[in-house]
Every structure is written in structure tokens, then in C-alpha cells.
């Protein structure tokens, strides 16, 4: 496959369509490969990467989150979030509580068992991340992470829709 020459930094012309497509394929396939490999590593802990992300967001949050806020942070639809919370609640990892000001809103909180599972899964996930990112320049990881966060936010911006 022949690669095109890179444009100089600051060139704000429209993205090269071939590079944009290559980027999209690489992003999609890398995210999928990452999830599959992480799921395989976490299978003995009975938590998939989707549930792990929900548990991690809850563990890192300073407050209880509504189901909607949790779904938004994970970038998934509310019905899917509801099903995931059902599974996590059945496993005793989270609990739902009615919001005092609006009973229609359900807040989600990790249980003690959920916090313990977070610690175990976090350790496994960290070992996986360390293995995958070994010998990768941390400044580059920081830069690419910022790029992904920017792209995520732009893609989620409803104003970009045609």
C-alpha cells in the first residue's frame, strides 16, 4: 500500500480522504482488538470490558451518578445501560437508589463487593495496559489520548450531523 506524503503541521486543508479512511479503520479495529483482549484477560473475574468501564467510571466518580449520566460517560444508549446495570445489580456489584428530588431518576452506586471487584479488575486491566503499552513513549500516549478525547467529543457533538 502506497502512503501519501504527510502535510506540514498547521495545514488546515480538508483531510486526505484515504488517510481519513485508513485512520477510521485503524481506530475501529484497534478499539475492537483492545476490547477482545481485555475481555479475555478479565473473563476469570466475570466482568467484561463494558461492565468494567461502568464499574471504573462509578469508582472514579466523586458522586453517585444517574443511569443517564453513566450512559453518557460511556457513550451508550440508556436502554443498554439499564440492562448492564441490571446485570451488575444481580451480581451484587451496584445498587440503584431513587433520587430524592425526582423518583424517576435512578442513581447508581458501587456496593462494597463492587469496590472490591473494581480493585481486582483494575489490577488486571493495569497489567494488560502496561503490557500493551510497554516501550511506547508516554508523551505520545498522552498526546494520542488527548486526540482521542477531542475526536470523541467532536463526534458526539450533535451539531456536526448533516
pTM (predicted TM-score):
0.71
Q: Which residues contact 112 (CB under 8 A, 6 or more apart)?
A: none
Count CA atoms closer than 13 A to 110's CA, side-chain side.
Answer: 22
Q: Is a pLDDT exceeding 60 seen at residue 11?
A: no
Per-residue pLDDT tens digits for 125-156? 899 999 999 999 999 999 999 999 898 888 87
CA of 127: how far to CAs of 114, 138, 149, 151, in Å? 20, 16, 23, 27
Q: What is the pLDDT of residues 52-85, one digit of tens each?
A: 889 999 999 988 888 888 998 888 888 889 899 9
Q: Please report, for residues 38, 50, 78, 127, the alpha-carbon distance to residue 35 in angstroms, rounded to integers and kept in the order given.
A: 5, 8, 21, 14
Amino acid at each position: 500500500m502506497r502512503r501519501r506524503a504527510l502535510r506540514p503541521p498547521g495545514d488546515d486543508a480538508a483531510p486526505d480522504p484515504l488517510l481519513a479512511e485508513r485512520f477510521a479503520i485503524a481506530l475501529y479495529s484497534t478499539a475492537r482488538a483492545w476490547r477482545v483482549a481485555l475481555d479475555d484477560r478479565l473473563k476469570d473475574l466475570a466482568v467484561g470490558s463494558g461492565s468494567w468501564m461502568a464499574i471504573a467510571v462509578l469508582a472514579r466518580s466523586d458522586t453517585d451518578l444517574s443511569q443517564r449520566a453513566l450512559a453518557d460517560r460511556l457513550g451508550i444508549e440508556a436502554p443498554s445501560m439499564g440492562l448492564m446495570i441490571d446485570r451488575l445489580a444481580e451480581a451484587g456489584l451496584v445498587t440503584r437508589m431513587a433520587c430524592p428530588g425526582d423518583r424517576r431518576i435512578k442513581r447508581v452506586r458501587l456496593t462494597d463487593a463492587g469496590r472490591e471487584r473494581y480493585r481486582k479488575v483494575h489490577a488486571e486491566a493495569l497489567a494488560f495496559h502496561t503490557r500493551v503499552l510497554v516501550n511506547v513513549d508516554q508523551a505520545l500516549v498522552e498526546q494520542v489520548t488527548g486526540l482521542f478525547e477531542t475526536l470523541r467529543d467532536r463526534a458526539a457533538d450533535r451539531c456536526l450531523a448533516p
